[in-house]
Amino acid sequence: SRSSDFCAPLTSFDWNEADVNLIGTCSIDTTCTIWGIETGQVIGQISSSGRVSGYVKTQLIAHDKE
């Protein structure tokens, strides 16, 4: 049964080095989600449509193309 709102296969995930209680995931449905490890709750989410929910403090870092 797919009763969960979060059932698409993951394509990537990473720990937050500044706050080890947060993890970020990306899924095949092009949704990126920030999870609180201690609670298992969604802290923030963005979809390919640009819809953002929640509040996440971010730091953007530019990378040079090789």
Q: pLDDT tens, 6-46?
A: 678 888 889 888 888 999 999 888 888 989 999 989 888 88
Q: pLDDT band for position 47 (50/70/90)?
A: confident
Which amino acid, 57? K
The pLDDT of residue 57: 61
At 36 the pLDDT is 92
**31: number of Cβ within 10 Å:** 17
Q: How much is the pTM?
A: 0.63
In this structure, what token pair is assigned to residue 13?
Answer: 């995930």
How far apart are alpha carbons 13 and 11 in whole angstroms? Answer: 7
What is the distance between the alpha carbons of residues 34 and 43, in angstroms, rounded to a whole number? 5
Give the residue extent of every domain in the chain: 10-48
| 3 state DSSP class of 41 | coil
Torsion of CA 33, 34, 38, 41, to 10 degrees: -50
Task: Evaluate if residue 60 carries a pLDDT over 60.
Answer: no
